[in-house]
Amino acid sequence: MHLHILGICGTFMGGVALLARALGHRVTGSDANVYPPMSTQLEAAGILLQEGYAADQLQPAPDVVVVGNAMKRGLPVVEYLLDAGLPYVSGPQWLAEHLLRGRHVLAVAGTHGKTTTASMLAWVLTEAGLDPGFLIGGVPQGFGQSARLGRGSCFVVEADEYDTAFFDKRSKFVHYQPRTLVLNNLEFDHADIFDDLAQIERQFHHLVRIVPGTGRILYPAADAALAAVLAMGCWTPTETLGLAPDDGATDWSARLLAADGSAAEIKRCGRSVGVLRWSQLGRHNVRNGLAAIAAAAQVGVDPVAAVAALSRFAGVRRRLEWRGEAGGVQVYDDFAHHPTAIATTLDGLRQRVGDARILAVLEPRSNTMRMGVHAAALAAALAPADQVWIYAPPDLGWDAAGALAALGARLQVQDQVVTLVTRIAAAAQPGDHVLVMSNGGFEGIHQRLLEVLTVA
């Protein structure tokens, strides 16, 4: 079968493409921007890519067109697809119909930590010899790819609440029919499609409604929004997660043994199952790891073995990923694009580097960020940094300097990346840590910084 995938270079749709290719299908695709690393990953799998959305890419007609949620009415390829009456399907629906049926689906949902938790879970299941399939919105370091077919009965999926397609406005995750569901946390986000937190809670309720009574839902006991979701109705046994002693008594708990999160004792029902010592940073990652251990137990993985497996977990690309050192300056890349994620990432790094200077660099790139929805919370989130650099292109839509004025002399706002690179490099000193945060490529700023720092 020939599948043509619209929006193929997104992490989710690129993963769908890799899985379809692994099933033996002929796969082609297109995107507005075809660039590494996803483009090279797809081309290495023998997938032909086209740039742009011209109608002629559907001539001759493929057997089915898989439509990404970035596609909108008015695009030439979409209008041709509809006019010609070609068969089409969304990525989540195709995944559900062709890969998830008959498998034990372990889904990870929530505002923050989905990619990392799903990566940890896939790693633990792999280390346990279960050979899981997975589709993750990032690239786990230990796997080197965002999706794998797997030969086992388990499939791990990052369950996104964003809408499915222009013709299906339900959240993606309602297609996956999980048997084990991890709910990491819940806050307001995706202001381009949701008006308020209550609308997102309703979508999560729809997800909860389809988890079977023989399945399991794992969630942090201290999260009020998730408690509200479950109060709407829950027909599945639940287990609670938490950090001790802050979150009270929970079914699964982690107690920090190191302030930076590099060591924690894991307990199940009050009994220790081991001490996790690993390379990951931050309280948030301890929470993610605890959820992965608890989820793996639902498919028979001994928590003691899960703790041991996570000690070998190498992390996920673009999640506080160390990109290099030049001139005594360390440069990191992180996907953070919400105030909570920014604050937790900075806290994790601060706990590791102590009093060393942190230079935070933020691109407000997500739709919600560009709308200015979280602008009022950014100054507090960025407060742990010694210097803050904001990329504010002319079309940002809100006054970054005004919104973050509370940072005072620590704040600099620039409207060109080239200027940003030059000035950060000039301000950086040996021993500094530069943390770049964006959910996009940020014009390759990480490598550009390292090159300029090397010359300096």
In the prediction, which pLDDT does 152 show? Answer: 97
Q: Which residues on adjacent β-strands are paired with residue 387?
A: 359
Q: Angle at which helices 283-297 and 114-127 pack, to 10 degrees? A: 50
- Look at residue 354 and tell me if it is in a domain: yes
In the prediction, which pLDDT does 433 show? Answer: 94
Tokens representing 76? 């030439």
- Look at residue 377 and tell me if it is in a domain: yes
Choose one of 265, 290, 310: the last residue of a domain.
Answer: 310
351 pLDDT tier (thresholds 50, 70, 90): confident
Q: What mean pLDDT is predicted for residues 176-199?
A: 90
| Residue type at position 122 | A
Q: pLDDT over 70 for what percent of the chain?
A: 99
SS3 letters across the chain: CEEEEECCCCHHHHHHHHHHHHCCCEEEEEECCCCCCHHHHHHHCCCEEEECCCHHHHCCCCCEEEECCCCCCCCHHHHHHHHCCCCEEEHHHHHHHHHHCCCEEEEEECCCCHHHHHHHHHHHHHHCCCCCEEECCCCECCCCCCEECCCCCEEEEECCCCEEECCEEEEHHHHCCCCEEEECCCCCCCCCCCCCHHHHHHHHHHHHCCCCCCCEEEEECCCHHHHHHHHCCCCCCEEEEEECCCCCCCCEEEEECCCCCCEEEEEECCEEEEEEECCCCCHHHHHHHHHHHHHHHCCCCCHHHHHHHHCCCCCECCCCEEEEEECCEEEEEECCCCHHHHHHHHHHHHHHHCCCCEEEEECCCCHHHHCCCCHHHHHHHHCCCCEEEEECCCCCCCCHHHHCHHHHHHEEEECCHHHHHHHHHHHCCCCCEEEEECCCCHHHHHHHHHHHHHHC
- Look at residue 7 and tell me if it is in a domain: yes
**For the domain that residue 55 is a member of, what is the CATH number?**
3.40.50.720
**For the domain that residue 167 is a member of, what is the CATH number?**
3.40.1190.10
In the prediction, which pLDDT does 238 show? Answer: 98
Distance of CA 188 to the CA centre of its chain: 16
**Pair 305, 326 in one domain:** no
In the sheet with 433-437, reading across from the earlier edge strand, the strands are 321-326, 329-334, 433-437, 358-362, 387-391, 411-414
**Pair 228, 346 in one domain:** no
Residue 191, pLDDT above cutoff 80: no
Residue 116, pLDDT above cutoff 80: yes
In the prediction, which pLDDT does 36 show? Answer: 67
How many CB atoms are closer than 10 A to CB 232? 13
What are the pLDDT digits (tens) for 218-242?
999 999 999 999 999 999 999 999 9
**Pair 338, 366 in one domain:** yes
* Contact assessment for residue 295 and residue 109, using Cβ atoms and an 8 Å cutoff: no
115: nearest Cα among 292, 344, 243, 262: 292
Choose one of 30, 60, 92: the last residue of a domain.
Answer: 92
In the prediction, which pLDDT does 307 show? Answer: 97
Q: How far apart are CA 278 and CA 261, in angstroms?
A: 9
Residue 186, pLDDT above cutoff 70: yes
**Pair 423, 342 in one domain:** yes
In the prediction, which pLDDT does 377 show? Answer: 85
CA distances to 71, 280, 335 from 320, in Å: 30, 9, 8
List CB contacts of 72: < 8 A, sequence separation 6 or more. Answer: 78, 166
**Pair 241, 359 in one domain:** no
Q: pLDDT over 90 for what percent of the chain?
A: 67
Q: How far apart are CA 371 and CA 428, in angstroms?
A: 31
Residue 306, pLDDT above cutoff 90: yes
Using the structure block, give the residue that is written with the tokens 């995938």.
5
62: nearest Cα among 79, 43, 86, 42: 86
- Look at residue 315 and tell me if it is in a domain: no
- Look at residue 345 and tell me if it is in a domain: yes
In the prediction, which pLDDT does 177 show? Answer: 94
What are the pLDDT digits (tens) for 52-90?
999 999 999 999 999 999 999 999 999 999 999 999 999
Q: What spatial distance separates the first Cα and last Cα of the chain, rounded to whole Å?
A: 54
Residue 431, pLDDT above cutoff 80: yes
Tell me which of 92-96, 155-159, 417-421 is least confident: 417-421
**Pair 191, 272 in one domain:** yes
Tell me which of 14-23, 122-131, 440-449 is least confident: 440-449
Choose one of 57, 92, 127: the last residue of a domain.
Answer: 92
**Pair 109, 221 in one domain:** yes
**Pair 283, 253 in one domain:** yes
* Contact assessment for residue 308 and residue 274, using Cβ atoms and an 8 Å cutoff: yes
**Pair 196, 271 in one domain:** yes
Q: What mean pLDDT is predicted for residues 354-364?
A: 92
What are the pLDDT digits (tens) for 15-42?
999 999 999 999 999 999 876 667 788 8
- Look at residue 403 and tell me if it is in a domain: yes
**Pair 173, 247 in one domain:** yes
In the sheet with 88-90, reading across from the earlier edge strand, the strands are 48-51, 26-31, 2-6, 64-67, 88-90
| Domain count across the chain | 3
Residue 175, pLDDT above cutoff 80: yes
- Look at residue 279 and tell me if it is in a domain: yes
**Pair 284, 179 in one domain:** yes
What are the pLDDT digits (tens) for 193-202?
888 899 999 9
In the prediction, which pLDDT does 456 show? Answer: 61
Q: What mean pLDDT is predicted for residues 153-158?
A: 97
- Look at residue 97 and tell me if it is in a domain: no
List CB contacts of 373: < 8 A, sequence separation 6 or more. Answer: 188, 191
Distance of CA 39 to the CA centre of its chain: 19
SS3 letters across 199-211: HHHHHHHHHHCCC
Burial (CB < 10 A; 0-12, 13-18, 19+), residue 263, is middle
What are the pLDDT digits (tens) for 243-291?
999 888 899 999 999 988 999 999 999 999 999 999 888 888 999 999 9
Q: Residue count of the chain, please give it.
A: 456
- Domain of residue 338 covers 321-455
**Pair 302, 385 in one domain:** no
What are the pLDDT digits (tens) for 375-399?
888 889 899 999 999 998 988 888 8
**For the domain that residue 413 is a member of, what is the CATH number?**
3.90.190.20
